[in-house]
Amino acid sequence: MNKRKIVAIVGLPGCGKTEAINYLIEKLGWPKIYLGDATFEEMQRRALPINEKNERLVREELREKNGPACYALWGIEKIKELDKTANILVESLYSWGEYLEFKKIFGEDFLTIAIYSSPCDRYARLAKRPVRPLTPEEAQSRDYSQIASLVAQAGPIAMADWTITNNTSRENLFLQLDKIIEVLKK
């Protein structure tokens, strides 16, 4: 019998996390928890328009008020609402505190896949995305905020169980994910 797996995709904005998650859902059929929904739920509660400025404001306020692991705690509650044996994908785990909380709760069942893309490639993608596009300046500002602030996003990326590079094509991203899928199916 396979052990339960909680697999988080980590990486900076525009690296391909959503592409990877959607591909993994298609190939594995696992449900997904998107940690960013905690931000959007709070923005909706406050009737704030969705934009980079408000997203950052809410993210920072939630972490300041509820601690660096607040998104993990939100996600863990969502996971507990699902089948206790289900394998689950987690999108947009950012902070070191979140990573540590998932490890504390799920131990060896918690795994991470880091996706690396160069800033040039990521910023080009972010400028073209249909939902919440970012200018290169906004994207760089978000990078700096997420790497150097309380978020400490570099920690989960550095501790990933797998790291793949997404600087060429979607097909290449998917080929790399296929190799990880084979391991996850065991």
Q: Is the pLDDT of residue 1 over 50?
A: no
Q: Which of 95, 70, 84, 82 is nearest to 32 (CA)?
A: 82
Q: Is the pLDDT of residue 150 over 70?
A: no
Q: Is the pLDDT of residue 134 over 70?
A: yes
The CATH code belonging to domain 6-184 is 3.40.50.300
Q: Across the strands, what pairs with 33?
A: 90
Q: What does the pLDDT read at residue 131?
A: 81
Contacts of 20 by beta carbon, 8 Å cutoff, 6+ apart: 9, 113, 115, 166, 173, 177
Q: C-alpha angle 49/90/62, rounded to 5°?
A: 40
Q: What span, in angstroms and rounded, lies between the C-alpha atoms of 185 and 156? A: 23
Give pTM, 2 decimals: 0.88
Mean pLDDT of all residues in the chain? 91
Q: What does the pLDDT read at residue 51?
A: 87
